[in-house]
Structure 1
């Protein structure tokens, strides 16, 4: 197998933490970031696509192809997450209208093409609902055998949900798509799902003091003013919501953690198990059900993250932002 660096493709529904994940990908993966696709979720497809292009431009990567995908989930009863991310999806932040147009290629075609271009070298990351990935698997059932690594931010495996008591937003938003994806990956010769769920993402947080320390470190880098303003303005909306809920101002780094693990799997400890998604429960639709003990007799299809080196993730993120500012 080639020893050249792996390639990275990210599927997003760009809200605040997706934006941070994209910034991290630009700084940490550099030219290995070969494409981005967008999906409905936190905000509409149009807003997610606009946000994605604007964030990539902020990072100096307006050259990265952004392919719009599904505008509605396979199970279209879901609502968006603008209450968390703000009406635009980027909190209080405002970014210039991007100059580079979105691609005319559909996300599904872009994902399949990226995986087939160099089989065994692509890290595919999904930080939003799994609608595009499900459609891609339906288009190309061999997709799980073409990617080297498939990481999702999604699910709650030994933790409570964040949209219902049992379900995490990305899975709940399109449980039918999530079930298709979990059942497609992890078979013979296929990459497993690497599931970065609320169990570990809630352990990686940043707050205002972290952003102030980053500002002090960035100095007079050419991109520092715009980057820092974006981070501060977008985070402020999230901080305000968390303060109302918990009395503390902080932001959970859900999506940046998924991208970080795609590039450095050693950041988390995982446990292999069979996972499926509840699609018809009166109280549990969108729940990720884990068979830790093999009672189903199914092939274990998922590497479930059970522990994270939170301080190393935080250090890598801030170092990446410092490079991006510079």
Structure 2
């Protein structure tokens, strides 16, 4: 049996982010432990993202009660045997102003379901869980008990952090053995860039960064050239990708990034190792989908029987599938939703399968365009059929040191998975309890 994997999920939920987290939490405890869910601004504003994370745990609590009442296995050992930490992260990108994807995901990130199906919303007390409590001597005993009740009863299946997410990432990497925690990034890379800027050597203790982002040979989904997660904070993506290079300065953004009024430092000229970056770009994620008919088949009976999870998933996925149908001339049963973010968790759970194949040119020198008027967030690779040079000095025919043996990024881009056609059903079965 493969050893248990431990991951940090950095996320901006978002419909497919929620599916990814449900898949991770549904994994048996022997397979996977989610040690931290760090939240970043992206698809919607950061507070809405946090609410959606809390909603996952709220619905799962109800689902586990329902399953027990039906004499079904409870599942979701990711929040019954473990209590993942949840931390709030960046509320803006490093360099430019925020521009969310609420035009697609809805202003709540869940297709408007927080309004149409309020029964699935978490208790409003979640907002207080992330605030610093007042000192004990400023609380009456009754007030102290109320705070304790908020933390112990309504949300007992996760743990709250009051530290910024990037600091929690660093703490966990520092306190655990090196290369035992993978970071799964399914949103903009702002939190990761902040952690790496503050303490790059601690950040490099991560086993790997598995990142959903970019479009290499595929077309973009927010501009003709760019995928949303990279486009939303290209400077952050560039900084994280640069850690895959033996010479990070060779691919760092040319502009100065700052966060909350403070400039981010450059990396030291020499680091102890390079970062393994596994890229799940649109080139592969667009090929892994779930259709409306398959989703209805998998969730319909459970909805009829009263499953809170199946009902909630229908509440936020059906509007998105209907939107995809309208974009494709109303062919309702053929409407599909790409499993962009869930594919990263699918990879974590199945990465020992030899059917996973990376690009024949991997590791590739993939860089991020940060300043282009029409190409912001474009992920650029070197397609020239030329060998790398022994020298890393600047040469007139190679502006940017693309062909250096040490300069340039080294990104492992996945192109094939074990089950393009079966992936959607496998993910739904895992989440809805058909597979234990």
The two structures have a TM-score, normalised by structure 1, of 0.90
Count of residue pairs brought into register by the alignment: 322
2:367 aligned residue: 276
Alpha-carbon deviation of 1:216?
5.7
Which 5+ residue runs of structure 2 have no aligned equivalent?
62-78, 115-119, 124-153, 247-271, 389-401
Matched, 1:190 2:274: yes
Q: Cα 1:185–1:82, aligned 2, differ >3 Å: closer, same or farther? A: same
Aligned partners of 1:59 and 1:291: how far apart in 2? 45
Aligned partners of 1:216 and 1:93: how far apart in 2? 18
Matched, 1:296 2:403: yes
2:58 aligned residue: 57
Which runs of structure 2 are paired with 1:21-40 in the superposition (5 Å)?
A: 21-28=20-27, 30=29, 32-40=33-41
Q: Cα 1:118–1:4, aligned 2, differ >3 Å: closer, same or farther? A: farther
Q: Cα 1:197–1:288, aligned 2, differ >3 Å: closer, same or farther? A: same
Which runs of structure 2 are paired with 1:1-326 in the superposition (5 Å)?
A: 4-28=3-27, 30=29, 32-60=33-61, 61=79, 63-94=83-114, 95-98=120-123, 99-100=154-155, 102-116=160-174, 117-185=176-244, 187=246, 189-215=273-299, 225-247=307-329, 248=331, 249-265=335-351, 266=353, 268-271=356-359, 272=362, 273-293=364-384, 295-297=402-404, 298-308=407-417, 309-323=419-433
2:17 is paired with a residue whose SS is helix
Alpha-carbon deviation of 1:324?
8.1
Alpha-carbon deviation of 1:217?
6.9
Alpha-carbon deviation of 1:144?
4.9
- Worse-matched range after superposition: 176-185 or 57-66: 57-66
Aligned partners of 2:426 and 2:382: how far apart in 1? 33
Q: Cα 1:280–1:219, aligned 2, differ >3 Å: closer, same or farther? A: closer
User: What do the CA deviations read for 1:107-144 (whole angstroms, capped 9, x no partner)?
Assistant: 01111122222211112101000000100111121245
- Worse-matched range after superposition: 251-260 or 115-124: 115-124
- Worse-matched range after superposition: 160-169 or 87-96: 87-96
Name whichever structure is richer in helix by fraction.
Answer: 1
Q: Cα 1:165–1:78, aligned 2, differ >3 Å: closer, same or farther? A: farther
The answer to whether the 8 A contact 1:29-1:263 is kept is no
Alpha-carbon deviation of 1:65?
1.4
Q: Cα 1:325–1:229, aligned 2, differ >3 Å: closer, same or farther? A: farther
Q: Cα 1:162–1:282, aligned 2, differ >3 Å: closer, same or farther? A: same
Alpha-carbon deviation of 1:307?
2.3
Q: Cα 1:324–1:241, aligned 2, differ >3 Å: closer, same or farther? A: same
The answer to whether the 8 A contact 2:244-2:409 is kept is no
Aligned partners of 1:144 and 1:136: how far apart in 2? 7
Alpha-carbon deviation of 1:240?
2.4
The answer to whether the 8 A contact 2:298-2:428 is kept is yes
The answer to whether the 8 A contact 2:25-2:34 is kept is yes
Root-mean-square deviation (Å): 2.4
- Worse-matched range after superposition: 186-195 or 273-282: 186-195
Larger radius of gyration, structure 1 or 2? 2
2:367 is paired with a residue whose SS is strand
- Worse-matched range after superposition: 26-35 or 163-172: 26-35
Aligned partners of 2:243 and 2:188: how far apart in 1? 16
Which 5+ residue runs of structure 1 have no aligned equivalent?
none
Alpha-carbon deviation of 1:81?
0.6
Alpha-carbon deviation of 1:58?
2.3
